[in-house]
Structure 1
């Protein structure tokens, strides 16, 4: 599976075929750097902050497809056609948005206990409410440009004076 480093607005769904008690160890990166999930994906780069591991039982009455729509903006014809298959999954799933791959092109080689279910489009959230407008932000800038400042020339002079005093003291002590 090819990951394009410039990819945006996609989300990948994987089924995780492990007993409940083994899931935490598999999906968590150890302090030593060991990370079975990353190895099973065959990924060279994977960002922990964007790995979403879901125990489907924890969703309660919400279906997995509904969760993917609400949490990840999953959409598109492929997603709609696979809703029944997605909702039939049990156990745990791993959901990886494009950001999980940190804009890095790479080739994944999926291994057990992962099974790829699908790659779906993400719908970007639309801002709620009207556009913010302000009369203060309208119009053209006018007037004269601000005069060029002297920067930190006063501070620079003070530092130069301090360095000169230190040099004089060092020379005076050396000549004694």
Structure 2
């Protein structure tokens, strides 16, 4: 007997949990070579093994599967609560597939031996706070400052005086050195 799971192309944020009735080394073969063996076994069109976890419950050092799903995949406790007792009885190998494993391709997943589907959960979604854009290119242009008005003629003359005096002193010093050298 097999279950058929429909995977829509626009799916995201779901986590499917399966048990795998094989020793871990044999189960790992399902994910080798870009998960081709798992694709053939399930009839999947495409699977990305980077988004599929396979582990033995003994490797979780006593951590119950429900806690692993809550902590490792962000599954809210409200979703886990109805089947927590069933999840805590799971032994052996477990396969966890995130929506990204299906590569946004609508497909049917045929679940047959050695896989057994346990449940599908939604990952927790924190409300996304809207912040002002931070990128320089996302900021609105700042208004240009109006051009500074030219200083009045008397003020301009006063600003030139120190420069003029320094220039005259330097010129006089150079002229003095030249005349002394010629004498």
User: Normalization by structure 1: what TM-score?
Assistant: 0.67
Contact 2:70 2:77 in 1 (8 A): no
Q: Deviations over 1:47-99 (max 9, x none)?
A: 11101112110000211111111111122644221111112111111101111
Q: Which residue of 2 aligns with 1:12?
A: 16
Q: Which residue of 2 aligns with 1:44?
A: 45
Alpha-carbon distance in structure 1 between the residues aligned to 2:143 and 2:12: 41
- Going by fraction, where is helix more abundant, 1 or 2? 2
- Specify every segment of 5 or more residues in structure 1 that has no aligned partner in the other structure, as ranges: 145-176
Q: Which residue of 1 aligns with 2:29?
A: 25
Pick which of 82-91 and 15-24 moved more. 15-24
Compared CA separation, residues 69 and 143, structure 1 to 2 (3 A): same
Alpha-carbon distance in structure 1 between the residues aligned to 2:126 and 2:55: 22
Q: Secondary structure at the match of 2:118?
A: strand
Q: Secondary structure at the match of 2:71?
A: helix
- Residue 138 (structure 1) shift: 7.7
Alpha-carbon distance in structure 1 between the residues aligned to 2:50 and 2:40: 17
Query: CA RMSD for the aligned pairs?
Result: 2.8
Q: Secondary structure at the match of 1:109?
A: strand
Q: Deviations over 1:117-136 (max 9, x none)?
A: 00111113678xxx7998x9
Q: Deviations over 1:8-39 (max 9, x none)?
A: 2110001100123422223322xxx6722222
Pick which of 98-107 and 67-76 moved more. 67-76
Q: Which residue of 2 aligns with 1:69?
A: 70
User: Normalization by structure 2: what TM-score?
Assistant: 0.64
Contact 1:76 1:121 in 2 (8 A): no
- Residue 5 (structure 1) shift: 1.1
After superposing on structure 2, the runs of 4+ consecutive aligned residues of structure 1 that deviate more than 4 Å are 131-134, 136-140
- Residue 141 (structure 1) shift: 2.2
